[in-house]
Structure 1
Amino acid sequence: MRIDSGLNNPYFKGLWRNFGNWRGSRPFSAGLVTILSGVPMVYLPYGHLAIGQLTIWMSTTAGASSLAIGTLLVTLGLTMWFQPSVRVFAGVAAIVLALLSIPLSNLGGFLIGHLLALLGAALSIAWAPGEPGHHHEGPPSS
């Protein structure tokens, strides 16, 4: 007896194809990496680490600037997704915020957020729209 996961349903194939077309028409990876770069910058100054009975608070004086820079990077990542025509501006702004994050935001989220922001910004600036008619057709069928 074969159990069908439902992924062979034409409805799901259509959704996957539509998502692939949407993803291919914008700098999707650049936006995703830029959004992910804001997470460590926002979390680390306000987070804490619990090891058994020992709790380590990582709060610093960089809290407000970390929150602002991380939130702006998430916003720029969403801008890359939903307004691909301003991808170059969003990429340059993400580079500026990544450079500002080193002195203002705990070395740019302990360099994790900084490096992700630079990578996302570079991907955004380098991305170019494809030719019409070359759309992603979804996963290969088995």
Structure 2
Amino acid sequence: MSAESPEQNEHYLRVFKRRFRDWRGSRPFWAGLFTLLGGIPIAYFPYATLQLGQMTLSMATTAGAGSLIIGVLLVTLGLTMWFQQAVRIFAGVASILLALVSIPVANLGGFVIGFLLALVGGALSISWAPGEPQGDEPEERAEATVPQQRAEPAEDFGPMYDTGTTVDANGGRNSAG
């Protein structure tokens, strides 16, 4: 190992941040995060017991199992968006459908918080597209940004409206001029 290698001189936190940024840029990161965060309140609120001073607020409902299933599925879909980009469209559609089902099943979709997060995450997943890799050589990028000039026609095609035409044997029309 030489003393000039960049890996040796960089701080490990800077290397981690750069690698995380590259990882995050190659997948629908925010879609997965919103979907994952949307599943947590949907699964949590039916089983939560909130204390407001001396008053205990419990949201135990008969739909607790359905809420738990929807929440766990949304968390799983969020992780799937991160680690399996090929199924991002399916995961996005499934997230939107589960978010809509959570409205009647899971206390208005986790008091609308989980519903909105899962809905936005699903929409982001459907709309995300992988970026195009940049060329290694700067000449390729420069040529791609230069607008192409329009070539002028080299021949004169005659008058615009030629009325003397005959039918060719192959079905086309030839000018009889």
TM-score interval for Structure 1 and Structure 2 normalised by the shorter chain = 0.7 to 0.9
Taking structure 1 as the reference length, the TM-score comes to: 0.85
Partner in structure 1 of residue 60 of structure 2: 59
C-alpha distance after superposition, 1:19-78 (max 9, x if no partner): 000000000000000000001111100001112222111111110000000000000000
Unaligned runs of 5+ in 2: 1-9, 136-177
Please say which of residues 51-60 and 107-116 is displaced more in the overlay: 51-60
Partner in structure 2 of residue 70 of structure 1: 71
Unaligned runs of 5+ in 1: 1-8, 135-142
Q: Does the alignment pair 1:19 with 2:35?
A: no
Q: Which has the higher contact order (CA 8 A, sep 6+)?
A: 1
Taking structure 2 as the reference length, the TM-score comes to: 0.69
Amino acid at match of 1:67: L
Aligned length: 127
Q: Percent identity?
A: 65
C-alpha distance after superposition, 1:73-107 (max 9, x if no partner): 00000000000111000000111111111111111
Which residues in structure 2 correspond to 1:23-102 (within 5 Å)?
Answer: 23-102=24-103
Partner in structure 2 of residue 137 of structure 1: none
Q: Secondary structure at the match of 2:46?
A: coil
Q: Distance in 2 between matches of 1:55 and 1:101?
A: 24
Q: Secondary structure at the match of 2:47?
A: coil
C-alpha distance after superposition, 1:91-137 (max 9, x if no partner): 00111111111111111111111111110000000001012139xxx
| Structure number with bigger Rg | 2
Partner in structure 2 of residue 132 of structure 1: 133
Partner in structure 2 of residue 120 of structure 1: 121
Please say which of residues 26-35 and 10-19 is displaced more in the overlay: 10-19
Q: Distance in 2 between matches of 1:20 and 1:14?
A: 10
- List structure 1 runs of 4+ shifted beyond 4 angstroms: none
Q: Secondary structure at the match of 1:45?
A: helix
Amino acid at match of 1:80: M
Partner in structure 1 of residue 151 of structure 2: none
Amino acid at match of 2:56: T
